[in-house]
Amino acid sequence: MDSLLIKGGIPLEGEVQISGAKNAVLPIMAGALLTEERCIIRNVPDLSDVRFMGQILASLGAEVKFEAGTLEIQAAKLKGTGDYDLIRKMRGSICILGPLLARLHQAKVSLPGGCVIGSRPVDLHLKGLAALGAKLKVEGGYVLAKAPRLVGADIFLGGRSGPTVLGTANLMMAATLAEGVTVIESAACEPEVVDLANFLISMGAKISGAGSPTIQVQGVDALHGTEHEVIPDRIEAATFAIAAAATNGEITILGSRPDHLSAVLDKLRESGVKIDRRGRTLVVSRGPRLNPVDITTLPYAGFPTDVQAQMMVLMTLTPGLSIITERVFESRFMHVSELARLGAEISIEGPSAIVKGGRPLSGAPIMASDLRASAALVIAGMAARGSTQVNRVYHIDRGYERIDDKLRALGARIQRVKEA
């Protein structure tokens, strides 16, 4: 496994181009299974998760070609059982369930894996598909689903931690080929859901309300091939913005969607970070003084859970007390113990992390536990004095395209090395 060796204390300076959104492209790839015709998807990041999904689609019989940021997918022939070992490694793979059921009227999909950040059950996915007429059971690690026909229904998708993004995606895809009208209440409002809807609409689907809590889908007889460009990755943009502030540098972030980042930009400005918005470009630098802030993660358009760990690093560098409350995933503070190795003072009280900031961080060997924690630890290493080695960075390659190359281009002293 690889690790990242970082020599800290260097302000990041320069320009960085934001890649396509991982959390948008994976459901879109699954959506390509809804048609026999070729789909061309552009602005696709070269990530291990994308390649895993490509292998999953290929195991289902689809032809998949990925080159220079462009995916070509054609599922002229399709089978209903995917590779167990591939699917179980990645949470986003559950998105193939809805399209397979809609297209083939049956599916056998292994329960998915992903980062260890708390319970993320698929019960809402199954509830919604059952409402459309599917017969489902979980057996031997698989979800077994059959539906001679899918019929539109009114579906409520609210869960304990709010709407489910992947559940909304799965139900929306399945409903495109169902008979009649499907209304999804308490739907996820994330930009990635809107991007999937736009992709499906370009295939001939009839969808309205995406981006709101109520999505309506009028089923059609068939979908056709299309071309689509994936939205920029708002989490990557937020990560680089926080990295600029944490290293006391100045970064110009190109090709982002600031309208997808309102909650993050608001908290950064509150914390004393200077942000100059110029259309789709953001210029980010640390102001004369950092201020402690309180943050609660929430479903979109609230502060994203995927930026919680990165923001915590900035608060460790900020004099005063900050309280960060996690309301989306119950086990998303695994990075706290690693930040403590660097000298951070953080205590956990239930769903909240209390950060006593202002002390300088000092480099040390640390270990990544999940995708976003990996990014946070890299930021901490760049802000710390001395050398930091972040181990098990295969997590970061799941969601950040060439992050070490991009950081080096901004002046970071970061090197990828093989772990002993």
- Residue 1, Cβ density class (10 Å: 0-12 exposed, 13-18 middle, ≥19 buried): exposed
**Mean pLDDT, the chain, whole residue set:** 94
Looking at residue 120, its pLDDT comes to 46
Per the document, the length of the chain is: 420
Return all residues near 223 (Cβ < 8 A) that are at least 6 apart: 34, 35, 176, 177, 200, 203, 204, 205
Question: Average of pLDDT values for 73-86?
Answer: 86
Question: Average of pLDDT values for 300-320?
Answer: 97
Looking at residue 214, its pLDDT comes to 98
What distance in Å separates the CA atoms of residue 141 and residue 81, rounded to the nearest whole number? 13
**Is the pLDDT higher at 403 or at 88?**
403
Looking at residue 121, its pLDDT comes to 66
Complete DSSP assignment for 257-325: -GGG-HHHHHHHHHTTEEEEEETTEEEEEE-SS-----EEB-STTSB-GGGHHHHHHHHHTSSEEEEEE
Tell me how crowded residue 54 is: count the other CB atoms within 10 A of its CB.
Answer: 19
Tell me how crowded residue 46 is: count the other CB atoms within 10 A of its CB.
Answer: 15
Strand order in the sheet with 154-156: 154-156, 181-185, 214-218, 206-208
Looking at residue 329, its pLDDT comes to 84
Looking at residue 254, its pLDDT comes to 98
DSSP single-letter state for residue 194: H
Provide the strand spans (E) within 195-249.
206-208, 214-218, 226-229
Biggest CA-to-CA distance, the chain: 64
State the catalytic residues.
115
Query: If residue 134 lies in a helix (H) or strand (E), which one and from where to where?
Result: none
CB-CB contact of 355 with 324 (8 Å)? yes
Question: Average of pLDDT values for 405-420?
Answer: 93
Looking at residue 420, its pLDDT comes to 61
Looking at residue 123, its pLDDT comes to 87
Tell me how crowded residue 121 is: count the other CB atoms within 10 A of its CB.
Answer: 12
Note the pLDDT tens digit of each residue in 191-223.
999 999 999 999 999 999 999 999 999 999 999
pLDDT over 50 (residue 116): no
What distance in Å separates the CA atoms of residue 47 and residue 248, rounded to the nearest whole number? 28
Note the pLDDT tens digit of each residue in 39-67.
999 999 999 999 999 999 999 999 999 99
- Per mean pLDDT, which range of 11-15, 93-97, 282-286, 316-320 is the poorest? 93-97
CB-CB contact of 34 with 177 (8 Å)? yes
Note the pLDDT tens digit of each residue in 336-347.
999 999 999 999
Q: Which domains does the chain have, with CATH numbers?
A: 2-16+233-418 (3.65.10.10), 24-224 (3.65.10.10)
CB-CB contact of 199 with 20 (8 Å)? no
Note the pLDDT tens digit of each residue in 117-173.
334 468 899 999 999 999 999 888 888 999 999 999 999 998 887 899 999 999 999
Provide the strand spans (E) within 57-205.
63-67, 70-74, 106-110, 135-139, 142-146, 154-156, 181-185
Note the pLDDT tens digit of each residue in 349-394.
999 999 999 999 999 999 998 999 999 999 999 999 999 999 999 9
pLDDT over 50 (residue 3): yes
Looking at residue 162, its pLDDT comes to 83
Looking at residue 113, its pLDDT comes to 55
